[in-house]
Amino acid sequence: MRVIAIDYGDQRTGIAVSDLTGTIAGEAFVIKEWDPERLADKIAAECKERGAERVVLGNPLNMDGSAGPRSDKSRALRELLAERINIPIIMWDERRTTVEAHDILSANDRHGKRRKETVDAVAATLILEGYLGSIR
C-alpha cells in the first residue's frame, strides 16, 4: 500500500512517498504552489501517478492540542483533495515536525537556501514515518 504524506505550507508543500509496501519512506520533494486549488490538483495528480492508496495530511495543532488557523487551512486542503481523489485522507498530528526537520538539517550542515528548499520535504518524511510506524 503506497502512502503519500503532506506537510502543507503557504508557499511550499512537502511531499513524502512510501515504498510500494507502505513500510518505509522513500522519495521526498517539494511542490512550490501558493494557490490551494492548484496545489490540490498537483497533489491529486501525484497520487494518481504513483498509485497512492492513502494520503496522510499533516495537521498542525497547537501545543495544547487545540486547532488554530494553520489546522483550519489543512482541513480546508483536505476538503479540496477529497473532491479530487477517492482514497482515504488521514489528518495526522504534526506538532514539532518542522522543528525536528530543522534540527535534522542543522545536524547535516544544511543552512540558508538549501535548508529552505528541503525543510518541508523532511517534515513530510517525518509525518510519513510517524504514520507508518503507527500502523505496523
Contact 107, 128 (CB under 8 A): no
**pLDDT(136) > 90:** no
> How much is the pLDDT for 61?
87
* All domains of the chain in start order, with CATH: 3-135 (3.30.420.140)
Bridge-based pairing of strands 89-93 and 54-59 is parallel
User: Which residues, 6+ apart, have CB-to-CB distance to 45 below 8 Å?
Assistant: none
Confidence of residue 47 (pLDDT cuts 50, 70, 90): very high
| Three cell numbers written together for 1 | 500500500
pTM of the model: 0.88
**99 exposed, middle or buried (CB, 10 Å; 0-12, 13-18, 19+)?**
exposed
Closest CA to 108 of 96, 118, 98: 118
Q: Is the pLDDT of residue 76 over 90?
A: yes
pLDDT band at 85 (very low <50, low <70, confident <90, very high): very high
What whole-number distance in Å separates Cα of residue 78 and Cα of residue 90?
9
- Min mean pLDDT across 1-10, 48-57, 59-68 is at 59-68
What is the DSSP pairing of strand 12-18 with strand 3-7?
A: antiparallel
Whether 37 has a pLDDT exceeding 90, the answer reads yes
Query: How confident is the model at residue 104, as a pLDDT?
Result: 73
Q: Distances in Å between the alpha carbon of 128 and those of 58, 88, 95, 113? A: 9, 15, 13, 24
Task: List pLDDT tens digits, range 93-130.
Answer: 987 676 676 677 677 666 566 666 788 898 999 999 99
Average pLDDT over the chain, rounded to an integer: 90
pLDDT attached to residue 115: 62
